[in-house]
Amino acid sequence: MTEVIHNIVAQIEQVVFWLTVTVYVIFGICVVWLIGFVRRHLGLDANSIELRRIRRILEGQSSEK
């Protein structure tokens, strides 16, 4: 009887462990997504920086004409 109880407790501990791992993975994905979202909306991503550089070059060329 005690062996059955120990097996049940071990299974419950394993379920709790995997739920904890899953929550940490989901939390990590959310943090990475949030950082990317903020960078995109503040204009800190590589595409926005490159577009600003191109805009400066084009404005410089148009002001020289």
What DSSP state is assigned to residue 43?
T
The contacts of residue 39 (CB under 8 Å, 6+ apart) are: 45
Residue with tokens 């071990």: 10
Question: Would you say the pTM of this structure is higher than 0.75?
Answer: no
Tokens linked to 24: 């940490």
Cα distance between residue 41 and residue 48, in whole Å: 9
Query: Per-residue pLDDT tens for 51-60?
Result: 888 999 998 8
Query: Per-residue pLDDT tens for 15-43?
Result: 999 999 999 999 999 999 999 999 888 88
**What residues does each domain of the chain span?**
2-64
Q: How far is CA 24 from CA 12, 28, 32, 53, 61, in A?
A: 18, 6, 12, 38, 51
